[in-house]
Amino acid sequence: MPVILATDIIVYLVFAFIGFIFWSACARDGYARQVWTHIRGNRLAIISALILAAYAGVALSDSIRWRDSVMLYNGKVAVSPENKTIYSSEALSILDRVFHKARANTEKTFSAPMADKLYVKETIELEDGTTIRDYAALKYPSTHLLGTDKVGGDVFFSAMKGVRTGVVIGTGTTLVVIPFAIIFGVMAGYFGGRIDDLIQYVYTTLASIPGILLIVSFMLIFGSHGYQGGLITDANLMLGVFVPSDRLFWLCLIMGITSWTDLCRIIRGETLKLRELEYVQAARAFAVPRVLIMVRHIVPNIMHLVLITMVLQFSGLVLAEAVLSYIGIGVGPEAGSWGNMINTARLELARDPVVWWSLLGAFAFMFALVLPANIFGDAVRDALDPKVNTKTKSGGD
């Protein structure tokens, strides 16, 4: 029985978008093709794109999940008294199923990457009945690529589970921020006067409320129940295919609502500058409708700012999730997230001997997402800029 979460929709949308871009880039000519030709010349950007695609693939595989039916000992499917199939309370994604071993093969507690013994001494009873304190052998030696955490879970697997959370937080929040920021920013800048006053008033108010406070209250109202990640809780057991109350979804929404103000302010300022430019004046002289002026003349000329701001904010968003998880209102502890990993790493780094691999895992995965995102973002911005884009073509004239 498939289960679709509200945040899965975001991942599917991202994939639909990638698919659309890919399809139009493969078309014979057109803008996307031209942009793609430009990006193709940049080897670093291509590598970045491949890494990003890998992340997106992991996120997608972690967003397609279904609940298995419960099997009885006799090999038959368990049914309820109403003769309905009983499903397991766990909705396992493709990722869970592919890394089934890493998920299931838990140890007792900490173990270093690729170690064959535990990281902590414990009392072991020998065959002759004497007990010694030593590092016990692992149940599954040399299989944990990044070691195990306190409860023996595979760190590499947790980090993989964090990919979906990171991607959803980054893109989901961006999907909320961009329309808000562009529509309000351009309107405030272009119309000025009362509309400008109103929009400025709204975002100044919003920006002056401490963000954490707003997020906490929002999450307490909307995000305190519902799907927390991992298990479908008892409360949700009777729910159907679609699970709208997903904590991560509310988190994206509220983080989007609290973080559109910066970009909006930048866009308003840029629009104020652009509206006085002569090409906008010329369009007005041609009686071009105002909406069309904004769409044709203003928005394309602020997109580079949007791209830069969003790429820079992306890492901030992933980190914000860590902070929020720390105070207990982020994604649930069952859903893997780099934020949660960094939180626990705080204590692990304080103990002696130091457990460093959780932090390393989270860091490496985040780094490998944010850096290519930056590089690829730059390449896209260049490719979208006709000045850079067409220089090579028309070098001679």
Partner 1 sequence: MAPIIEVKNLRTYFNTPKGTARAVDGVSFNIDAGETLALVGESGCGKSMTALSLIQLVPEPNGFIAEGEILLDGLDITRLPEYEKRRIRGNDIAMIFQEPMTSLNPVLTIGSQIIETIRLHQGLSQKAARAHAIEMLDRMKLPSPKTLIDEYPHRLSGGMRQRIMIAMALACKPKLLIADEPTTALDVTIQREILTLIKELKEELGTAVLLITHNLALVSGNADKVGVMYGGKIVESASAKDIFKNPLHPYTKSLLHSLPSITNRNEGLETIEGTVPEPTNFPKGCRFAKRCSSEMEGCSRLEPTLTAENKEDHLVSCHLFDPEFMSESRARPAGKMREPVMDFSRVDDSDAATRPLVLEVKGLKVHYPIKKGIFKKTVGHVRAVDGIDISIERGSTLALVGESGCGKTTTGKAIMQLIDATEGSVLLKGKELTTLNTEDMRPMRELMQIIFQDPYSSLNPRIKVGGIIEEGLKSLKPDLNDKERKDKVSEVLRMVGLSSDMSNRYPHEFSGGQRSRIGIARVLVVEPELIICDEATSALDVSVQAQILNLLRSVQIEFGLSYLFITHDLGIVEYMADKVAVMYEGKVIEYGRTEEVLGRPKEEYTKKLLQAVPTID
Which long-range contacts (C-beta less than 8 Å, at least 24 apart) are formed by 284-293?
A: 290/190, 293/190
CB of 293 to partner 1, least distance (A): 10
Write out the two tokens for 128.
């002759």
Return d(Cα 256, Cα 10) in angstroms, integer.
14
CB of 386 to partner 1, least distance (A): 4
Note whether 397 binds partner 1 by CB under 8 A.
Answer: yes
Note whether 395 binds partner 1 by CB under 8 A.
Answer: yes
DSSP state of 77: B
Which range binds partner 1 by CB under 8 A, 106-114, 175-183, 289-297, 307-315?
A: 289-297
In this structure, are strands 2-5 and 242-243 parallel, antiparallel, or unpaired? parallel
Count of CA atoms in the C-beta half-sphere (13 A) of 145: 10
Is 97 exposed, middle or buried (CB count within 10 Å of its CB: 0-12, 13-18, 19+)? middle
Nearer residue to partner 1 within complex by CB, 262 or 385: 385
Nearer residue to partner 1 within complex by CB, 14 or 188: 188
CB of 389 to partner 1, least distance (A): 8
Helix (H) or strand (E) run with residue 121 in it: strand 117-125
Return d(Cα 238, Cα 110) in angstroms, integer.
36
Nearer residue to partner 1 within complex by CB, 188 or 345: 188
CA–CA distances in Å: residue 289 to residues 57, 187, 200, 276, 296: 43, 14, 24, 16, 11
* 3-class secondary-structure state, position 64: coil
Note whether 390 binds partner 1 by CB under 8 A.
Answer: yes
Residue type, 292: L
Interface of this chain with partner 1, residues 290 to 329, rule: CB under 8 A: 296-297, 300-301
Which range binds partner 1 by CB under 8 A, 83-91, 105-113, 171-179, 383-391?
A: 383-391
Nearer residue to partner 1 within complex by CB, 144 or 297: 297
Note whether 131 binds partner 1 by CB under 8 A.
Answer: no
Among 57, 90, 281, 349, binds partner 1 (CB under 8 A): 281
Contact pattern for partner 1 over residues 234 through 273, marking x by CB under 8 A: ----------------------------------------
Which range binds partner 1 by CB under 8 A, 3-11, 120-128, 175-183, 279-287?
A: 279-287
Contact pattern for partner 1 over residues 140 through 159, marking x by CB under 8 A: --------------------
Longest Cα–Cα distance of the chain, Å, equals 98
Which residues pair with residue 137 across a beta bridge?
Answer: 117
Among 286, 291, 352, 353, binds partner 1 (CB under 8 A): 286
In this structure, are strands 87-93 and 65-69 parallel, antiparallel, or unpaired? antiparallel
Among 74, 80, 208, 394, binds partner 1 (CB under 8 A): 394
Peptide bond connecting 386 to the previous residue in cis, omega within 30 degrees of 0: no
Note whether 204 binds partner 1 by CB under 8 A.
Answer: no
Return d(Cα 368, Cα 163) in angstroms, integer.
11
First to last CA, the chain: 63
CB of 380 to partner 1, least distance (A): 14
Note whether 279 binds partner 1 by CB under 8 A.
Answer: yes
Among 263, 283, 355, 383, binds partner 1 (CB under 8 A): 283
Residues that bind partner 1 (CB under 8 A): 277-279, 281-289, 296-297, 300-301, 386-387, 390, 394-395, 397
